[in-house]
Amino acid sequence: MKKLLTLLLTAALAVGAACLVGCQNNTVKSQKDVHLIVAAEDVEKSFTASGEIGTLEDAMKLLAETDETFTYSGTYSSQYGLMVTEMLGITPAANSYWMIYTDTIKREDGEVYNASEEYTYEYSGTTYYSTMLGASSYEVDDGETMLFVLLSF
């Protein structure tokens, strides 16, 4: 009986360790500067995150740790990653959502974003492109500018 219990416990620990390794974010972090613009209602604020960054969420966490005016929260989607539900204390009303756009249409890894007008947003004379991903799934490039816009549908 003791051997069976030990075997079951060992198997459970192995499965748990495999889940932890498989669930890790494998994004490589490197020294980057990422610019974030938040535009909603009567709010327009710009931030720059500088440090070891891989994903947009990494940049957001860094900002939240270093700038008390930068706040956010969200929920995780298995398909898209972190979906922002609150930014700078602003929670969208019904049928409104935080949308994430980037100034980068073609990334270093060759991935090209959909540049159709349906997935773009004009802001201060610059065309931004929908990331089509949540913040934890979107890998940022050094110098990239991210735009968070509150839109109603």
Give the mean pLDDT of 113-140.
Answer: 86
Tell me which residue of 7, 10, 28, 8 sits closest to 18, measured CA to CA: 10
Give the mean pLDDT of 44-54.
Answer: 97
pTM of the model: 0.78
pLDDT at 111 over 90: no
pLDDT at 1 over 60: no
Tally Cβ neighbours within 10 Å of residue 77.
13
pLDDT at 114: 60
Taking all residues of the chain, what is their mean pLDDT, rounded to a whole number?
A: 82
Tell me which residue of 24, 26, 28 sits closest to 142, measured CA to CA: 28
pLDDT at 153: 86
pLDDT at 5 over 60: no
| Distance between CA atoms of residues 134 and 81, nearest Å | 5
Based on its alpha-carbon atoms, the radius of gyration of the chain, rounded to whole angstroms, reads 19
Tell me the H-state helices in the chain: 2-23, 56-66
Domains of the chain are 30-152 (2.170.130.30)
pLDDT at 115: 63
Split at pLDDT 50, 70, 90, the class of 60 is very high
Name the percent of the chain in helix, strand, coil, to the closest 5.
25, 40, 35
pLDDT at 107: 60
| Distance between CA atoms of residues 6 and 82, nearest Å | 38
pLDDT at 105: 78
Tally Cβ neighbours within 10 Å of residue 49.
24
Token readout for 146 is 């991210």
Task: Express each pLDDT in 78-104 by its tens digit.
Answer: 998 999 999 999 999 999 999 999 998
Tally Cβ neighbours within 10 Å of residue 115.
13
